[in-house]
Amino acid sequence: MPILPILLTAQPEKLDIIKMILNARGLILLDLVVLLAFSVLTWYIIVYKGMFYRRAGKGNDAFLAMFRSGATLDQVHQFCESNPPCPLGSVFSAGFRELVKIKAREEAGEAGTGSIASQNLERSLRRSAMVEITGLENQLPLLATISATAPFLGLFGTVWGIMESFSTIGSMGNTTLATVAPGIVDALVTTALGLIAAIPATIAYNHFLRKVRLHVADIETFANDFQNIAHRKFLQ
């Protein structure tokens, strides 16, 4: 029988990852479910944190424009109250509230408002800054965990699948390529899904980490500037 016509009419089987996932069983199925959950979670965090940092950046820009426009602290505080919260605005509000308490104690004639007032203001600014920094860093450790563990979970699934394939081959006593290839291909799907989950997580983590560092620098700089202004105008 001529071989060439058979080769020409034979259609190669397409790689159907969805079918492979649905046909998976046991630990391979569990591994695939975890990796799929990692991938969905990664993209959720990417979209959510991307929007979060965008809003924070716009809010900080609007706040700095108001703060540097020559407006009084009361006007800046009213601006913060009437607009969506932002990291710098929250730090300012914490410092402003502490200044109001300091002025109230001074008007009441309470003693010890010098260095104690300065320390209270510094603690208030530092506390608010830490809260904002924690919010900025929220969910980033999860991205780092996914980027670090997803490739190893994929590799584990591949190793386990190959072990099962060779165990089946040993029990059947058939070592043809048609017997070996399907099991190995199914096992390698876990590695592919591990990389699909890990690569976006790694890129997003590094990108967001840079944004966090920029926001932290802005918060620390503003806190120092606000403290200097308070010392010159209110805590002399």
pLDDT along the chain (236 residues), means of 10: 41 54 65 89 96 95 91 91 93 92 76 72 92 94 94 86 72 61 71 91 96 95 90 75
Rounded Cα distance, 163 and 180, in Å: 11
Rounded Cα distance, 123 and 101, in Å: 14
Rounded Cα distance, 25 and 12, in Å: 25
Q: Are 102 and 81 in contact (CB under 8 A)?
A: no
Q: Which residues of 171-186 are buried (b: 16+ CB within 10 A; e: fewer)?
A: eeeeeeeeebeebeeb
Rounded Cα distance, 19 and 8, in Å: 26
Rounded Cα distance, 176 and 204, in Å: 43
- This prediction's pTM: 0.80
Q: Which amino acid is at 169?
A: I
| Cα 106 from chain centre | 44
pLDDT at position 80 is 93
Annotated domain spans of the chain: 15-233
pLDDT at position 28 is 73
